[in-house]
Structure 1
Amino acid sequence: MTQMVCMAMLLAGGEGKRLAPLTASLAKPVVPFGERYRMIDFPLSNCLNSGIRRIGVLTQYCADTVHRHIGDGGAWLNAIPTKHLGEIAMLPASDHSPSGCYTGTADAIYRTLSYIEPRNPQHVLILSGDHIYQMDYRPMLEAHIRSGASATVAVKRVPWHEASRFGILNVNDDYGVVEFEEKPARPRSNLASMGIYLFRTDKLKEVLEQDASNPASSHDFGKDIIPKLLEDGDNLNAYPYEGYWRDVGTVDSLWEAHMELIDGTLRLSKSHWPLLSGYAPASARRDRRNWTAPHDCIVDPHCRMEGAAQRSIMGTGSEIGKGSIVYESVIMPGARIGRNVRIHNAIIGENAVIEDGAVIGVPKGEKIAVVGPGERVSAERITVPQSRDTFAALLSGAGRRDRELHASKAFSY
């Protein structure tokens, strides 16, 4: 068999508890992003654009939601012409683990070595399915091969005040890793692991088999595998990435990433690097009869827009009713916003319904209000992330006395 240079394994089983209620019935990697994409579209598109056409997708929590989105992988494999065949294979925990669950990121790859080995790759790229970035993996692969490293970790400099949220690597002048700290209280470096690992296949198999036999291990790449490689004196390198990258594991970070999309810090439309998706186009069309042109907004062509908006994103198939105002918010695909609704600093989940006259969020609030997928919010319920003291300005701005009558019995945090 001809040995391929590299294949990818994409970890897509995350539950995403910090994104609740958006993940109540969705795996974290298929939470919508932008007007018509899902998080997992980013690493999948990166692989195909980088020439990596053999991809295993490991699923667990709400696996069916990932499987439905990816299908047979044709939306990605057929979008980029090439003479090479490709494969996007779904690898659910229910088929590969005796317990029906992967116990950690390393355990997930260990349990699916049976998928990797027959394909005989020289190197295996391990990716997270829930980060927002557009990266060409080829320079990283070239640097990894050139260095002769057992493994290479992609790293990104983060603000020092955020460094304790990440796995932090200390490196020498040649970007050889000399120390790894998992979420240190007092970090000595701001080089954060991006959760992207590139292994020589023989070394990956060796270290995973050792880890699987260690009862004290949590079977996690960051907590166990990388420290073990350093302990054993293996050649471990870091690959610095300079482009946009964001871990959107919390409601706040997801909202912030969308605001960066509006600001232009993140750009999705690149002719040389298409962002591909299995999202089916919605049937709704933009209605301009009563349309107030949004300022600094991203509005999908399949959004029915009759209200006004500023610094917001309206997803495919969403509807914004007459007299409604949406400000600094994310309206996910399929959400329906009624008439005379006020939405500030909020994320409205897929297919949610906001009835006429409802109020969501607080202008310039410190926290983000969230309405879950498929949830229905009536005018008798005011959804806010803060205290009752913030209501006065909001209610007067909405101009609806009847909402004030119901405020005392209609809180959602």
Structure 2
Amino acid sequence: MRGGPSVLGIVLAGGEGKRLMPLTADRAKPAVTFGGTYRLVDFVLSNLVNGDILRNCVLTQYKSHSLDRHVTTTWRMSSLLGNYVTPVPAQQRLGPRWYLGSADAILQSLNLVHDEQPDYIVVFGADHVYRMDPRQMLKQHIESGAGVTVAGIRVARSEASAFGVITPGSDGLTVERFLEKPSDPPGLPDDPERVYASMGNYIFTTKVLIDALQQDAEDEDSVHDMGGSILPMLTERGVAQVYDFDTNHVPGETGRDHGYWRDVGTLDSYYDAHMDLISDEPAFDLSNRSWPIYTHSPQLPPAKFTASGIASESIVSPGCVIRGQVTNSVLSPGVVVEDGAVVQGSVLHHNVRIGRGAVVRGAILDKNVNVPPGATIGVNPERDSELYVVSANGIVALGKGQRVG
């Protein structure tokens, strides 16, 4: 941050994303396409860059080729000013082993910290959909003198088992307890049916983080995870505070999408987040020009609609050709929907082709899937479950280039 404290951004992007299979069969979770033209990693990087955190390292590991290529080709900063976004693959700097967890990933990458010598380190996850101004969280962290500040969002207690849960102290800021995915956590004092869920976004005072990582590395019983190891350790020391995400405001936000944050770790949550994009007043508005989400857009012609082509309540990306009918769907670049085909409530990735007279409902089709003329997906649940991955909520998912039975 120019004229302010020195800040280094570290983005944790090594996740395998097993619950998003088959979309992660050939790529890291942060590289999964979202919203037609974006990758999941674009959301965190856009937040950091829009928030003047301009020196960022993206730690990668699992099937990282497409992620590395996307970050390298898309996120080019001004080298004249010393700004950068760089992918950092696992390097086995501490021996012949890969990352044991997110904390170990940073431990093995401390050379980046020693080179930059920042006052503060922003550690954000790479696979959530949201807008956030990190400067506001950093301001609270600096003014409070905390060793670590963790961003928290209020969620229903019934959802708590999917998150790290923060129990604030009587001052509303100090973290009294940090519980990793508890089954029955205590509710908030002012709202017993809700809890503070960790968003996976942390800001550390540099020395505090380095000391904690080194201590954690010596613990043979540790899982070496930021939420499972480092946050509980610093909570016990009394140096952890919570930042209420609801107090964060970004330029151009609407009353509808203020405070929007989605963990898209499952097929159902990934699908639901897409459905949040497509209404006339979307729950998350991609068109906010005051806080843009940046990405790389391929050089393709504008979308084309023939006389029979119709698309409503949908996102249609460049290079698409619509000859059939599309409703309540998100189409990535290069999708072709042939004459007489019907696409309803679906997410189609790059270069998917829907043949003449085919029907696709409630489906996620990864790139290069070719649906033959007259074929159906999402119409016959029994048949779909025999041939494809079907989510708990009945969403049919096909992997990259998967053959349609």
TM-score (norm 2): 0.87
Aligned partner of 1:288: which letter? F
Pairwise CA distance, 1:340: 0.9
- 5 Å-filtered alignment, 1:264-283, equals 264-281=282-299, 283=300
Cα distance change on mapping 1:124 and 1:341 into 2, 3 Å: same
State the secondary structure of the residue aligned to 1:223.
helix
Asked if structure 1 preserves the Cα contact closer than 8 Å seen for 2:367 and 2:400, the reply is: yes
Q: Does 1:201 align with 2:206?
A: yes
Equivalent of residue 112 in structure 1, options 109, 116, 119: 109
- 1:280-322 Cα shifts (integer Å, max 9, x gaps): 34x3653322343222111113211111011111111111111
Pairing partner for 1:255 from 264, 271, 278: 271
| C-alpha distance in structure 2 between counterparts of 1:223 and 1:74, whole Å | 31
Indicate the residue corresponding to 2:39 in structure 1. 38
Match of 2:123 in 1: 126
* Partner SS for 2:312: coil
CA apart distance, 1:366:
3.6
In structure 1, distance between residues paired with 2:295 and 2:334: 15
Whether contact under 8 Å (2:167, 2:176) holds in the other structure is yes
Contact 1:96–1:111 under 8 Å retained in 2: yes
Task: Give how far 1:270 is off.
Answer: 1.1
SS of 1:154's equivalent in the other structure is: strand
* CA radius of gyration, larger in: 1
CA contact (8 A) 1:345 1:363 kept: no
Q: Find the aligned partners of 2:51 and 2:326 in 1 and give their Cα distance.
A: 37
Aligned in 2, Cα 1:72/1:313: closer, same or farther, shift over 3 Å?
closer
Q: Is the 8 A contact 1:73 1:88 kept in 2?
A: no
Q: Which residue of 1 aligns with 2:13?
A: 12
Q: Which residue of 2 aligns with 1:223?
A: 228
Q: Distance in 2 between matches of 1:6 and 1:116?
A: 10
CA distance in 1, matches of 2:292, 2:166: 31
User: Would you say the 8 A contact 2:348–2:366 is kept in 1?
Assistant: yes
Counting only pairs closer than 5 Å after superposition, residues 57-68 of structure 1 correspond to structure 2 as 57-68=58-69
Hey, what's the Cα distance between the residues in 1 that align with 2:283 and 2:96?
43
Does the alignment pair 1:244 with 2:260?
Answer: yes
Aligned partners of 1:309 and 1:363: how far apart in 2? 19
Q: Residue in 2 aligned with 1:404?
A: none
Counterpart in 2 of 1:151? 148
The aligned runs of 1:43-62 (5 Å cut-off) are 43-62=44-63
- Conservation of the 8 A alpha-carbon contact between 1:144 and 1:198: yes
Q: How far 1:4 sits from its partner (Å)?
A: 4.8
Summarize deviations over 1:219-274 as a string: whole Å, max 9, x none.
0011111111122x232110011211110000000000000111300111111111
Alignment partner, residue 323 of structure 2: 306
Could you tell me which runs of 5 or more consecutive residues in structure 2 were left unpaired when the two chains were aligned: 188-194, 247-258, 382-391
Cα offsets for 1:149-176 (capped at 9, x unmatched)? 0000000011232122111111023321
What is the one-letter code of the residue matched to 2:147?
A: S
Distance in 2 (alpha carbons) for counterparts of 1:50 and 1:3: 13
Q: Note closer, same or farther for the CA distance 1:266–1:213 as it changes in structure 2 (3 Å cut).
A: same
Question: CA 1:49–1:329 in structure 2 vs 1: closer, same or farther (change >3 Å)?
Answer: same
Per-residue CA shift, 1:11-33, capped at 9, x if unaligned?
A: 11111111111111011001000
Which stretch has the larger CA shift, 2-11 or 159-168? Answer: 2-11
Alignment of 1:12-411 (within 5 A): 12-71=13-72, 73-75=74-76, 77=77, 84-94=81-91, 96=93, 98-172=95-169, 173-189=171-187, 190-231=195-236, 233-242=237-246, 243-263=259-279, 264-281=282-299, 283=300, 285-362=302-379, 366-377=393-404, 381=405
Over 3 Å counting, the alpha-carbon distance change for 1:286 and 1:273 in structure 2 is: same
How much has 1:119 moved relative to structure 2?
0.6
Cα separation, partners in 2 of 1:45 and 1:333, compared to 1, 3 Å = same
8 Å Cα contact 1:70/1:278 also seen in 2: no
SS in 2 for 1:224: helix
Cα pair distance change 1:354/1:97, threshold 3 Å: farther
Name structure 1 gaps, 5 residues minimum: 382-413
AA matched with 2:61: Q
Equivalent position amino acid for 1:28 in 2: K
CA RMSD of aligned residues (A): 2.0
Secondary structure (helix, strand or coil) at the match of 1:186 reads: coil
Q: Are the equivalent residues in 1 in contact too, given 2:71–2:86 (CA < 8 A)? A: no
- Which residue identity is paired with 1:148? G
Q: Is 196-205 or 301-310 further displaced after alignment?
A: 301-310
Q: Which moved more, 1:289-298 or 1:135-144?
A: 289-298
Deviation of 1:206 after TM superposition, in Å, equals 0.3
- After superposition, the Cα gap between the structure-2 partners of 1:31 and 1:74, relative to the gap in structure 1 and judged at 3 Å, is closer
